[in-house]
């Protein structure tokens, strides 16, 4: 168990054996023997390993080991392998803590619902108009209407989807992934992305969960992009805001709609074309303008706020309040020291910030 945990934590930290050895003050050969299960570190070296890898000592002996299944990435083709290893290590660590926390609740208590898909979904879909219809079914089933979704993470978590935010992907090579952990649907986003990009990733990955095994003759990535656009900005809503047909669009219109619905200006242009509001030629001219102004890299004005997940932390405190766990376990699950946990629990950090 220790050998596997050490290797996982090292890769998640993006360190080679030599780099980790240098941080701890031991030889790379010693690290190799630890990871091959030949030797075990002394208590002192164990503490140094935990400090160098940014984990608590208990991490190395956590009994739960999960496997991510049905993984679908949203990444660039040139995303480095070591970055994917860092992301996978971080995701597995967070997912394991999630599963462990849920298992600490008694069987009679279900802190999160089981994810289910509407029975009204068609068994197959072979057109993008069909994708639009599926997005509408999901919105109707979730009672979202045609209005903006103010907190997409909270909405998806309330339906039984595990959302994990990773800070490992900080070079724009990775947007997110979808998968399954212990039977629970999982969606991962980068904490470094602006809010509108995070939301599109969330909706795109939801598309994978909804459309998997239903597509006939459609590219899955393109289908999930269409689902994401239709889910975040339904056709009736964009027509209501922009009109049924336009000869031109104002940049300020796109900016205001972005901040109302949490979808990028570029994605709104795409939706405008998909919904027949603007012609193909007009859409292409706006694309050229976006490229010229470099707005495809960074759009003008204030960015849309980041999405954040707080459910995991809420469930840790709920478990503590119900005496399912003690303070030490709560601190371990949150990945912080017991002294830091005491300050957080007593709101000392909040009081200090206010004062």
pLDDT of 100 > 80? The answer is: yes
Per-residue model confidence (pLDDT) at position 280: 95
Per-residue pLDDT of 29-43, as tens digits, reads 999 999 898 989 988
Residues 166 and 23: their CA atoms lie apart, in Å, by 23
- Reading the block at residue 284, the tokens are 């292409």
Q: Read off the tokens for 133.
A: 């219809």
Q: Which of 306, 236, 305 minimizes the C-alpha distance to 271?
A: 236
Share of the chain above pLDDT 90, in %: 64
Enter the pTM of the model: 0.85
Mean pLDDT of the chain: 90
Cβ–Cβ contacts within 10 Å for residue 46, how many? 18
Residue 112 has pLDDT above 60, yes or no: yes
- Quote the tokens at residue 207: 């598309």
Asked whether the predicted pLDDT for residue 113 surpasses 90, the reply is: yes
Q: What is the C-alpha to C-alpha distance for residues 9 and 61, in angstroms, rounded to an integer?
A: 12
Cβ proximity of 75 and 84 under 8 Å: yes
Q: Which pLDDT band holds residue 138 (cuts at 50, 70, 90)?
A: very high
Residue 212: the pLDDT is 87
pLDDT tens per residue, range 163-199:
999 887 665 677 888 888 889 999 999 888 899 999 9
Torsion of CA 344, 346, 349, 350, to 10 degrees: 110
Q: Is the pLDDT of residue 125 over 90?
A: yes
Is the CA virtual torsion 219, 265, 194, 141 positive or negative?
Answer: negative
**Structural domains of the chain, ranges and CATH numbers in brackets:** 1-63 (1.10.260.40)
Q: What is the pLDDT of residue 235?
A: 97
SS3 track for 139-201:
HHHCCCCCCCCCCHHHHHHCCCCEEEEECCCCCCCEEEEEEEECCEEEEEEECCCCHHHHHHH
d(CA 139, CA 161): 15
Averaged pLDDT for residues 259-276: 97
How many Å apart are CA 201 and CA 188, to the nearest integer?
9
Average pLDDT over residues 151-155: 96
The set of residues, in sequence order, having a beta carbon less than 8 Å from that of 139 and lying 6+ positions away, is 145, 146, 231, 234
């Amino acid at each position: 168990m220790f050998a596997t945990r050490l290797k996982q934590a090292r890769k998640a930290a993006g360190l080679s054996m030599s780099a980790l050895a240098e941080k701890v003050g031991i030889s790379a050969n010693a690290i190799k023997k630890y990871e091959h299960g030949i030797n075990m570190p002394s208590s002192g070296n164990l503490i140094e390993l935990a400090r160098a890898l940014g984990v608590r000592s208990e991490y190395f002996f956590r009994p739960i080991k999960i496997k991510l299944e049905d993984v679908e990435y949203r990444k660039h083709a040139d995303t480095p392998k070591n970055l994917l290893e860092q992301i996978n290590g971080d995701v597995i660590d967070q997912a394991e803590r999630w599963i462990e926390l849920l298992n600490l609740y008694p069987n009679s208590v279900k802190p999160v619902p089981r994810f289910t898909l509407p029975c009204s979904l068609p068994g197959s879909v072979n057109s993008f108009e069909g994708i639009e219809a599926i997005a509408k079914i999901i919105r109707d089933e979730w009672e979202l209407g045609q209005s903006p979704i103010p907190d997409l993470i909270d909405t998806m978590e309330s339906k039984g989807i595990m959302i994990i935010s990773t800070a490992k992907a900080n070079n724009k090579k990775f947007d997110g992934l979808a998968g399954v952990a212990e039977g629970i649907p999982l969606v991962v986003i980068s904490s470094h992305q602006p809010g509108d990009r995070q939301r599109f990733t969330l909706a795109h990955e939801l598309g994978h969960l909804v459309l998997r095994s239903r597509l006939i003759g459609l590219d899955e990535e393109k289908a999930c992009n269409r689902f994401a656009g239709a889910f975040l900005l339904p056709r009736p809503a964009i027509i209501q805001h922009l009109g049924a047909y336009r000869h031109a669009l104002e940049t300020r219109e796109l900016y205001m709609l972005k901040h109302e619905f949490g979808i990028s200006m570029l994605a709104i242009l795409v939706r405008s074309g998909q919904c027949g509001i603007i012609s193909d030629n007009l859409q292409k001219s706006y694309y050229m303008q976006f490229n010229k102004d470099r707005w495809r890299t960074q759009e003008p004005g204030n960015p849309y706020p980041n999405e954040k997940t707080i459910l995991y932390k809420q469930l840790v405190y709920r478990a503590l309040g119900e005496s399912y766990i003690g303070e030490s376990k709560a601190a371990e699950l949150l990945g912080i020291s017991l002294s830091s946990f005491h300050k957080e629990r007593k709101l000392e950090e909040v009081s200090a910030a206010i004062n």
